[in-house]
Chains A and B, each alone.
Chain A
Amino acid sequence: MEAGLESPVDEEGVHDSFNQLIAEQSQNGGLDALELQELQRELDEEGRDNVAYLSSPGHDYGRRQERWEAEREDDGRQTDSLAGERWSSATLKILSSMPSRTIGRSRGAIISQYYNRTMQLRRRRQSRPSIRDFSRSARPSIRGYGMEGDTTDSEGAEKREHLVNNLQNLSVSDRVRMLRGMPLSVAEKSELRYMQSWYSWLSFIHSLQLWQVALKRVSGRFGTGVLSYFLFLKTLLFFNLFLFLVTGAFLVLPQAVHPPLFSQGRPSFSGLELLTGAGYFSDSVMYYGYYSNYTLRKSCRVDTGGQNMSISNGTGMDCPSKRHSYNMPMAYFFTIGVSFFITGIILVYSMSKSFGQSFRIDKSHSILAMKVFCSWDFKVLKKSSVKLMSENICTQLKELLAEVNHKHVKNTVCQKLWRLTVHGIAWTICIASTTGCVIGIYYFSEHMHQVRQDEEASMLALPVVVSVINLLLPGLFNAAAWMEDYDSPSVRTYVAIGRNLMLKVSVLGVLCYHWLGRVAADPCWEDFVGQELYRFLIMDFIFTLLDTLFGEFLWRLFSEKGLKRRRRPVFDIARNVLDLIYGQTLAWLGVLFTPLLPAVQILKLLLLFYIKKGSVMMNCQAPRKPYRVSQMTTIFITLLCIPSFIGASVCVTYTMWSITPSSSCGPFRQLKTMFQAGKRWVEELEKDNPSLSMLARAHAYLVENPFFLFVGAGIFLIVIYFHSQVVDGQRKIISLLQEQIENEGEDKKFLITRLQSIHEQKRTPTRRLTKESVKP
């Protein structure tokens, strides 16, 4: 009986009991009166009640009822005293009126009632079936899920959401009628209308899906793990698209329309430009040096006589209109700053969202149960992949069983020492090789800087060396990990990621020192740094292609034809994602010096998608090790945010704040630092409108005073500490509540059996009496 009303899966039963109870409560109000009436009727009758019939005001219950009856007869074992009893109607009434089954008369109840009505209206009108596969509701919310329970404020909000989604599916006239008819306040109605339009907009955005078919094929064959790499690539593409649109609209377009007044002749186009970025591209809108340091005006003639004009002098020109003016240095400074700021906010938001999805407060105790119910990847469609997945799950279950059953074998001291030594050696190898390569890059870059020749191709030497290091060293790390032989595959993955990260961070660090420390003393150094970053990006792409060719394609051929094995290479998700993050860091570092670098990155990512997809489909096989997708996705987006983006923005901020811009090219020539452009603008504003002097003062106080930064960071840390304490407290509450659930269950059993026994006692004397009375 309890089965019928306990689960929200049985919506009809819940609805009926809800309606009945509200009606009853509004009529009599007394529970005791009902129970007494029932008891009286019981005493008169004498028959045994058919439990199954009484349990639910029958509706489509036939099949379930039969099954349940059959099960009860077969099931001799009574593990639970509650399950097997046949309850009297009084007990049933009490059970059905328990607070866990009734819905309070709160706002939630009113909303639920109207929810019902909208459903009935839809069924009657048979209005269009909704495709809500791209909005939060998803259609079965129509069928009434989440309808029961006492409503708190958050549940009220959920019900409102369901109502909104339901309303969306009605036609406009119906919608208006329903909204008008509801007894909610005006504020709530406007909130509902707002939520409707927000959902419509979201669903439209989602409908513009890119690469849907390709992603489906990849996930059908390889599962969610490999798919996450391609989804990450898609995310990066959108970041770069945003950067490109912003810089293109505010920097490239105005400057391209107003070419600088005095520019040297460009060398002719030869194919080498695509690799080196110099030559034909060197004095173009692609690099920092091309951008003007004065305010662009629409109708000015070439009468200004040279580039050395200060920005504040905007009035000493014979230009008729002041309206169509565009302050280039200001635009440059603010565009870069604002785009970085917005990218940072989007990154932090997606990181926190991903973290929220994958982080669970309670460290899981139910590992085996989760493995049984959550390990089947529903996206896999191909037969061979499905077979492989079954085998994997089988192996993992066996391993888990062994782990859960047997105690972990304790190592002897000798074995522990040996393992420590092996780990130590492996880490020493990795750190030593990384340090060696970094020192090598340091001296090689210095050499290349001093021996700078005019030959273009020699400029490719440093990028090639760095790319080769990035390609070969992770292989060495893999070999070291193989030697170490980790037990747990997740630990192995984390260690691999950590080592790879260490390598890339050190390499980028030494390169940044080289560019911002040494090269920054040269004339027009920003152009050179921009070209270097372009070269690094292109070389990275070429070497990724080579790695795909040799690592996957040729290896598969070799392994099939040469070694005659069926095993194909496995797609190393972590390494490929780290390569993507490295490329994106280069792009972010380069935006300040090369406003068109996001466009190059977009092209690179597009090509990379198709090449990687083709290679994976042709050459690789599905991974054999378990891969925790949501955890890894969180780690990758965290890595994208914290070392990659924060590092790039620190470099850019340092460049803008402390480094002297070159005096012969670019929008910030003649200034001490790039940051001064912002300061000058504020001073200009103050001169024009004295009432804005407070803004200037605030600007000077807030932005330039480091004390404020420390206070801000301190507050931030305190907030983080509070949140971590809250999470700790919630953990404790969860365990307490679990204990309470168990206790409540015991209480319930006790009370029900007591009630039943009292009822039995009351019945037997009466039966004896009536039997005696019948006898003559």
Chain B
Amino acid sequence: MGNKQTIFTDEQLDAYQCFFYCRLHGRYHELAPHLVPMDYTNDPECKLPLALIVNMPELKENPFRNRIVESFSEDGMGNLSFNEFVDMFSVLSEMAPRELKAIYAFKIYDFNVDNYLCKEDLEKTLNKLTKEELTPEEVELVCEKSIEEADLDGDNKLSFADFENMITRAPDFLSTFHIRI
């Protein structure tokens, strides 16, 4: 829990929530000790930039780290307030339900933010997954086959409904889409 004094209102403090709240806040604070306030009684606004957050050990080696942080930021540029920081680790925890994880997984893999997983999105995903070890023909083939398998309404790209339908059939999704903090 640390030995720093953080000041919350009485309403905000709760017996058992405090532990996790303080722990997550501790992590948030240590990213930028001079920027993050300790006193929340006046509800200060504070956002940490993308570059600081992706340096966390939990995200540093993840090829999707930029997309993860961007998906949870309101402005889409990756600047997270503390609320959004907590949101991010809540969705990625083991307690988040499958539907919620599917929504955010869709956001993460949607590189061009058009609410569809088109071929370019899949190509980028594959390249990040395999660190560009696959040949371009193989990448092309994989993307085509994946879209063919998962696309239900025949528009050659995956909408959220297609993605969710496919992901609910994957038993490993819940265990892999999980970060321990």
B175 touches A397 (CB 8 A): no
Residues A139 and B95 in contact in the complex (CB < 8 Å), given A9-B106, A68-B114, A374-B167: no
B87 lies within 8 A of chain A by Cβ: yes
A377→B178 CA distance, assembly (Å)? 8
Looking at the assembled complex, report how far the CB atom of B140 sits from the nearest CB atom of chain A, in whole angstroms.
11
The answer to whether B134 and A398 have CB atoms under 8 Å apart is yes
Contact partner of B142 among A139, A364, A401, CB < 8 A?
Answer: A401
A64 within 8 A of B: yes
Enumerate chain B residues within 8 angstroms of A381, measured Cβ to Cβ. 57-58, 60-61
Out of B60, B109, B153, name the residue touching A745 (CB < 8 Å).
B153
Check if B58 sits within 8 Å of A133, measured CB to CB.
no
With both chains docked as a complex, state the minimum distance between the C-beta of B143 and any C-beta of chain A, in angstroms: 8
Cα-based distance from A606 to B43 in the complex (angstroms): 45
Contacts of A140 in B (CB 8 A): 87, 90-91, 100, 103-104
Task: Check if B146 sits within 8 Å of A372, measured CB to CB.
Answer: yes
CB-contacts of A332-376 with B (<8 A): 357-360, 362, 364-370, 372-376
Contacts of A742 in B (CB 8 A): 152-154
Task: Tally chain B residues at the interface, Cβ within 8 Å.
Answer: 85
Given A80-B155, A139-B86, are A365 and B149 neighbors across the interface (CB < 8 Å)?
Answer: yes
A680 vs B7: C-alpha distance when bound (angstroms): 64
Interface string of A1-17 (1 = CB under 8 A from B): 00110111110000000
B6 at the interface (CB under 8 A from A): no
Distance in Å: Cβ of A715 to nearest Cβ of chain B: 31
Complex interface residues of chain A between 47 and 81 (CB less than 8 A to chain B): 63-64, 67-68, 71, 79-80
User: Cβ of A612 < 8 Å from any Cβ of B?
Assistant: no
- Chain B residues lying within 8 Å of A128, measured Cβ to Cβ, are 8-9, 11-12, 14, 21
Asked if residues B176 and A224 are in contact (CB atoms below 8 Å), the reply is yes
Of all chain A residues, the one with the shortest Cβ separation from B16 is A204
* Number of interface residues, chain A, beta carbon within 8 A: 89
Q: How far is the CA of A387 from the CA of B131 in the complex (A)?
A: 9
Name which residue of chain B comes closest to A384, CB basis: B61
Inter-chain contacts of A373 with B (CB < 8 A): 105, 109, 125, 163, 166-167, 170, 173
CB–CB B114/A67 < 8 A: yes
Partner of B149, one of A68, A200, A367, A631: A367
Nearest chain B residue, comparing its CB with the CB of A382: B61
Distance of A630 Cα from B172 Cα, bound (Å): 6
Question: Is the CB of A404 closer than 8 A to any CB of chain B?
Answer: yes
- Specify the chain A residue showing the minimal Cβ separation from B152: A741
Pick the contact of B169: A79, A224, A370 (CB < 8 A).
Answer: A370
| Shortest beta-carbon distance from A9 to chain B in Å | 6
A309, B113: Cα distance in complex, Å: 82
The closest CB in chain A to the CB of B112 belongs to A67
- Is B93 in contact with chain A by the CB < 8 A criterion? yes
B45 to chain A, nearest CB (A): 10
Q: Is B17 within 8 A of A130, CB to CB? A: yes
Q: State whether the Cβ of A610 lies closer than 8 Å to any Cβ in chain B.
A: no
Partner of B115, one of A7, A127, A398, A745: A7
> Taking the complex as formed, is B133 at the interface, i.e. its CB lies under 8 A from any CB of chain A?
yes
Please, which residue of chain B has its CB at the minimum distance from the CB of A215?
B180
List the A side residues contacting B66 at CB < 8 Å.
none
How near does chain A come to B117, taking the closest CB pair, in angstroms? 9
Contact with B along A751-765 (1 / 0, CB 8 A): 000000000000000
Closest to B117 in A: A373
Q: Which residues of A contact B86 (CB under 8 A)?
A: 129-131, 133, 139
Q: Give the interface centre of A79, A134, A171 by most chain B CB atoms within 10 Å.
A: A134
User: Taking the complex as formed, is B129 at the interface, i.e. its CB lies under 8 A from any CB of chain A?
Assistant: yes
Q: Is the CB of B172 within 8 A of A629?
A: yes
Which residue of A219, A404, A630 has the most chain B CB atoms within 10 A of its CB atom?
Answer: A630
- B25-45, CB under 8 A of A: which get 1 and which 0? 000000000000000000100
Q: Which of A9, A138, A204 contacts B91 (CB 8 A)?
A: A138
> A368–B147 Cα gap in the complex (Å)?
9
Complex partner residue of A368 from B103, B112, B113, B149, CB under 8 angstroms = B149
Question: Interface segment, A388-396, A468-476, A555-563?
Answer: A388-396
Q: Is the CB of A366 within 8 A of B169?
A: yes
Q: Is B122 an interface residue, CB under 8 A from the partner?
A: yes
Q: Complex formed: what's the CA distance from A80 to B91 in Å?
A: 34
Distance in angstroms between the alpha carbons of A134 and B173 in the assembled complex: 18
The answer to whether B20 and A207 touch across the interface, beta carbons within 8 angstroms, is yes
Complex Cα distance A129/B97, Å?
A: 19
At the interface, yes or no: A596 with Cβ under 8 Å from chain B? no
Contact mask A166-178 → B, CB, 8 Å, 1/0? 0000010000000
Q: How far is the CA of A358 from the CA of B172 in the complex (A)?
A: 7
Is B154 in contact with A360, judged by CB distance below 8 angstroms? no
Give chain A nearest CB distance to B69 CB in angstroms.
Answer: 13
A134 touches B20 (CB 8 A): yes
* Separation of A67 and B141 alpha carbons in the complex (Å): 27
A140-B91, A383-B61 given; A372·B171 CB < 8 A? no
A362 to B171, CA, bound (A): 12
Query: CA–CA, A220 to B174, complex, Å?
Result: 17
Check: B179 CB closer than 8 A to any chain A CB.
Answer: yes
Contacts of B53 in A (CB 8 A): none
Give chain B residues whose Cβ lies under 8 Å from the Cβ of A224: 175-176, 178
Q: How far is the CA of A82 from the CA of B82 in the complex (A)?
A: 41
Given A8-B103, A127-B12, A367-B149: A378 in contact with B178 (beta carbons within 8 A): yes
User: What are the interface flags for B70-97 relative to A under an 8 Å C-beta threshold, 1 for contact and 0 otherwise?
Assistant: 0000001000001100110111110111
Contact of A364 among B95, B126, B169 (CB under 8 A): B169
Q: Are A398 and B138 in contact (CB under 8 A)?
A: yes
> Is A631 in contact with B105, judged by CB distance below 8 angstroms?
no
Q: Which residue from chain A places its CB closest to the CB of B174 in the assembled complex?
A: A357
Flag if B114 contacts A3 (CB, 8 Å). Answer: yes
Interface check A738, CB cutoff 8 A: yes
Chain B CB within 8 A of A567 CB:
no
Q: Choose among A203, A370, A391 the residue that contacts B170 (Cβ–Cβ < 8 A).
A: A370
Q: Which residues of B contact A386 (CB under 8 A)?
A: 61-62
Q: Is A575 an interface residue (CB 8 A)?
A: no
Q: Would B160 and A357 count as touching, CB distance under 8 A?
A: no
With A130-B17, A378-B176, A631-B171 given, is the CB distance from A390 to B131 under 8 Å? Answer: yes
Q: Does A216 contact B (CB under 8 A)?
A: yes
**B contact residues around A723 at 8 Å (CB):** none
Task: Verify if A673 is at the interface (C-beta below 8 Å from B).
Answer: no
Write out the residue numbers on chain B whose beta carbons fall within 8 Å of the beta carbon of A10. Answer: 115
B175 CB contact (under 8 Å) in A7, A71, A141, A630: A630
A126 at the interface (CB under 8 A from B): yes
Q: How far apart sit A219 and B62, CA to CA, in the bound complex (Å)?
A: 14
B154 lies within 8 A of A374 (CB): no
Among B122, B160, B169, the residue within 8 A (CB) of A372 is: B122
Say yes or no: is A180 at the interface (Cβ < 8 Å to chain B). no
Considering the chains assembled together, what is the distance between the CA atoms of A131 and B93 in angstroms? 11
Contact of A391 among B17, B96, B122, B133 (CB under 8 A): B133
**Closest-CB distance, A388 to chain B (whole angstroms):** 11
Judge if B130 is at the interface, Cβ distance under 8 Å. Answer: yes
- Give the docked Cα–Cα distance between A63 and B61 (Å): 29
Is A206 located at the chain interface by the 8 A CB criterion? yes
6 contacts between A and B (CB under 8 A): A7-B160, A130-B86, A133-B89, A219-B180, A372-B122, A397-B134
| 6 shortest interchain CB distances as A-B pairs | A128-B12, A138-B96, A366-B149, A133-B90, A369-B146, A133-B93
